[in-house]
A and B are shown apart, each in its own frame.
Chain A
Amino acid sequence: MSSDLNGARPGGTTGSEALIASVPSAEPATAAGPKGMAGLAGRWWAISETLTAYSFLAPTIAFFAVFMFLPIGLGFWLSLENSSGFGVSTFVGLANYRAMIHDPIFWKTLGNTAIYTILTVPSSVLIGLAIALLLKDEFLRGRNIYRSFVYFPMVISGVATAIVGGWMFNENLGVADKFLAAVHLPTIHWQSSSFPAMMSLVVMTLWTRVGFNMVIYLAGLQNMDSSYLEAAAVDGAGPWRRFRRVTWPMLGPTTFFLVVMNVIYSFQVFDLVYVMTGGGPSNSTNMLGVYAYQQGFIENQQGYATAIGMALFVLVLAFTAIQWRVSRHRDLA
């Protein structure tokens, strides 16, 4: 692993801890200026430091003000409006949220999002861990090439992934059914029945996501103190016991970080579902993120779409809050 970028890396401190640890302290780093500068010169230096900081931040603040903070504020307002996009909007209070509670498709997409999350997160994290354990050994020949094969799909767009997935799981012409037929198994209706369609999405998700989990686990394993493992081996613990009693507990923070990240990705899935199944057959693979887009830009129910977006936001916030809570407790322990 090259160390061009020195400093903390996940494993010892997971990304989540880094996020917390990285909130800057109020203490001025260089407020007093160079040593020996006092009085007027020192004060002038501090003023110019503040001016420099704000001018360096000005472009960032401008972009965020117009394209992030203003939209978030408008979003809250918009979710209280009945709006078709180009016509006149009327304030309807909580009507969009009430409609959401009575919308069976909203509940269906929420349930599908939950199912998709349950089907993708534990599997991708555990497979990532298994491959990391398999490929961590510094004596394994060609391990760098093997690793590349596992994580290269992360650079492939969701759309391209969906297109190749849709083709491999094509109901009449796909290679998945071809394999099944070759070994005399019944072929599966990947596109016209609900659960197989969901499974085809899960498989393509694993393809792009396992590599990310493997990379983070490899870093965690590398930062692990191997003397515990060696001590366990001296005490006669076999490979499974060594894993169960030493490696797995020590990777706890890494696993936790990966579970939270993967949950957040799964909640927000859009590209893959929209292009590969379009949410079909009959909404059985439709998810919250896709449904919000359909409502906003196909059905032109922009207020309702934003209300669905808010529901998604609440879910993501809840998980982030859990993560912060747990990692803070761990830091204090």
Chain B
Amino acid sequence: MTPASTTSVSYSMRRGRRSWRITRHVITIVICAVMAFPIYWMIVTALTPNSDLIAGVAGYWPRHFDIGNFTQAFAAQPWGRWFLNTVLVGVASVLLTVSTNVLAGYAFAKLAFRGKVLIFFLLLSTMMVPIQVTMVPTFRITVDLHMFGSLWGVIIPEVAAAFGIFLSRQFMMSIPNELLEAARIDGAGHVRTFLRVVLPLCKPLIAVLVLFNFMFRWNDFAWPLIILKNPADYTLPVGLLFLQGQYTVNYAQMLGMALVTILPMLVLFIALQRYFVEGLLRSGIR
């Protein structure tokens, strides 16, 4: 095979024919339109008066940019409070989860100790346990610890998740041992080596962990639903369910508020997309 023929084969394989290239763009644009449609439909619904929706006279695009649905929703339910609760849960969970994960990941990746294999295997195997197995016992433990009905009851039990431990260990294994040994020869102890040498190298890891844990908590539903009883303590997903359970459902308000709750995630996604992809690829676990 001559170099020239290789080039022409690769060229025709990669570039394809012009008609196929155009067709491919068309197919792709149709796929993107389908994927974007639910969001578009949320926007259209949220900008339409509920009476139009009920009467079935609403069109495929918003006829007027009426933000009345949002102001009415904010007046009817404590959305500001729910928003704040969700942010509090997210921030507290991220602080607790990420710090414990990074410490554990370092121990598993770089330290030698008895019981390492067993402990790691036990922690990792909990990833397969469905919440339905532990929800009732954990609920009772949370009651016994006087955390039922409080945001702490949402935050604390879910720190026990193996996702970040696995990710941290994988990442820290790639830090060369020579770096750690050099620090030790310079007289640094274990803690100092971790804080001064390892942690500064872990910024991409911490970014992924913060992002994913915040997203998990922001979108979390089953556990807050079990723990939170007083409407003032709801997080956003539980608040949305509360709205859906009203006697007469106001679709315009409900879709509007659903849109508001996903906006922060969409903004994070657009800004930090590559971290989302990296996190997915590194873990393969949602």
* Chains A and B form a bound pair: yes
With A5-B171, A234-B1 given, is the CB distance from A139 to B237 under 8 Å? no
> By DSSP majority rule, is chain A's interface helix, strand, loop, or mixed?
helix
With A23-B117, A216-B280 given, is the CB distance from A149 to B136 under 8 Å? no
Partner of A71, one of B137, B171, B286: B137
B204 interfacial contact with A, CB 8 Å: yes
Partner of A5, one of B42, B100, B208, B218: B208
A183 interfacial contact with B, CB 8 Å: no
Which one of B67-75, B77-85, B121-129 is at the interface? B121-129
Partner of B273, one of A74, A148, A274: A148
Enumerate 18 A-B pairs (CB-CB under 8 Å) in ascending A order. Answer: A29-B110, A60-B103, A66-B160, A68-B126, A149-B31, A156-B219, A157-B219, A167-B45, A167-B251, A170-B251, A172-B56, A207-B35, A216-B281, A234-B9, A261-B285, A308-B132, A312-B133, A313-B130
- B156 to chain A: which residues have CB within 8 Å? 63, 67
- B218 to chain A: which residues have CB within 8 Å? 157
- Interface-centre pick from B28, B174, B259 (highest chain A CB count, 10 A): B28
Partner of B53, one of A30, A34, A173: A173
Q: What is the number of residues of chain A that contact chain B, defined by CB distance less than 8 Å?
A: 120
Chain B 251-286: CB-based contact to A (< 8 A → 1; otherwise 0): 100110011011001101110011011101111111
- B116 to chain A: which residues have CB within 8 Å? 24, 26, 53
Q: Among residues 173 to 209 in chain B, which have CB atoms less than 8 Å away from a CB atom of chain A? A: 173-174, 177, 180-181, 184-185, 189-191, 194, 204-205, 208
Contact between chains at B54 and A230 (CB < 8 Å): no
B176 shortest CB reach to chain A, Å: 11
B101 interfacial contact with A, CB 8 Å: yes
- A299 to chain B: which residues have CB within 8 Å? none
> A10–B279 Cα gap in the complex (Å)?
11
A297 interfacial contact with B, CB 8 Å: yes
A260 shortest CB reach to chain B, Å: 10
- A23 to chain B: which residues have CB within 8 Å? 117, 120-121, 124
A250 shortest CB reach to chain B, Å: 16
- A122 to chain B: which residues have CB within 8 Å? none
> A78–B141 Cα gap in the complex (Å)?
13
B107 interfacial contact with A, CB 8 Å: yes
Contact between chains at B136 and A305 (CB < 8 Å): yes
Question: A-contacting residues of B (Cβ < 8 Å)?
Answer: 1, 5-6, 9-10, 13-15, 24-25, 27-28, 31-32, 35-36, 38-39, 41-42, 45, 53-54, 56, 99-101, 103-104, 106-114, 116-117, 119-124, 126, 128-141, 156-160, 165-166, 169-171, 173-174, 177, 180-181, 184-185, 189-191, 194, 204-205, 208, 215, 218-219, 221-222, 226, 237, 240-241, 244, 251, 254-255, 258-259, 261-262, 265-266, 268-270, 273-274, 276-278, 280-286
Q: Which single residue of chain B is at the shortest CB-CB distance from A135?
A: B28
Contact between chains at B284 and A18 (CB < 8 Å): yes
A75 interfacial contact with B, CB 8 Å: yes
> By DSSP majority rule, is chain B's interface helix, strand, loop, or mixed?
helix
Contact between chains at B219 and A158 (CB < 8 Å): yes
Q: Which single residue of chain A is at the shortest CB-CB distance from B156?
A: A67
- A149 to chain B: which residues have CB within 8 Å? 31-32, 35-36
- A310 to chain B: which residues have CB within 8 Å? 133
Contact between chains at B130 and A312 (CB < 8 Å): yes
> A52–B8 Cα gap in the complex (Å)?
60
Contact between chains at A15 and B283 (CB < 8 Å): yes
Contact between chains at A168 and B41 (CB < 8 Å): yes
Q: Which single residue of chain B is at the shortest CB-CB distance from A64?
A: B160
Contact between chains at A167 and B255 (CB < 8 Å): yes
Q: Which single residue of chain A is at the shortest CB-CB distance from B190?
A: A52
- A70 to chain B: which residues have CB within 8 Å? 137, 141
Partner of B261, one of A157, A167, A271, A312: A157
- B166 to chain A: which residues have CB within 8 Å? 19, 22
A199 interfacial contact with B, CB 8 Å: no
> A140–B24 Cα gap in the complex (Å)?
9
Contact between chains at A75 and B133 (CB < 8 Å): yes
With A53-B107, A215-B281, A216-B280 given, is the CB distance from A72 to B133 under 8 Å? yes
A63 shortest CB reach to chain B, Å: 4
Contact between chains at B112 and A30 (CB < 8 Å): yes
Q: Which single residue of chain B is at the shortest CB-CB distance from A163?
A: B258
With A71-B141, A163-B255, A163-B258 given, is the CB distance from A134 to B284 under 8 Å? no
> A296–B226 Cα gap in the complex (Å)?
10
> Apart from A50-B112, A150-B32, A163-B254, what are 20 other A-B pairs with CB-CB below 8 Å?
A5-B278, A7-B170, A7-B173, A34-B184, A35-B181, A52-B190, A60-B165, A63-B159, A64-B160, A66-B141, A67-B134, A139-B14, A148-B269, A155-B265, A159-B237, A167-B254, A268-B131, A293-B135, A297-B139, A320-B128
- B126 to chain A: which residues have CB within 8 Å? 64, 68-69, 72
Contact between chains at A317 and B128 (CB < 8 Å): yes
With A26-B117, A155-B269 given, is the CB distance from A219 to B281 under 8 Å? yes
A154 interfacial contact with B, CB 8 Å: yes
Contact between chains at A5 and B251 (CB < 8 Å): no
Q: Which single residue of chain B is at the shortest CB-CB distance from A319?
A: B128
A146 interfacial contact with B, CB 8 Å: yes
Q: Which single residue of chain A is at the shortest CB-CB distance from B207?
A: A4
A257 interfacial contact with B, CB 8 Å: yes
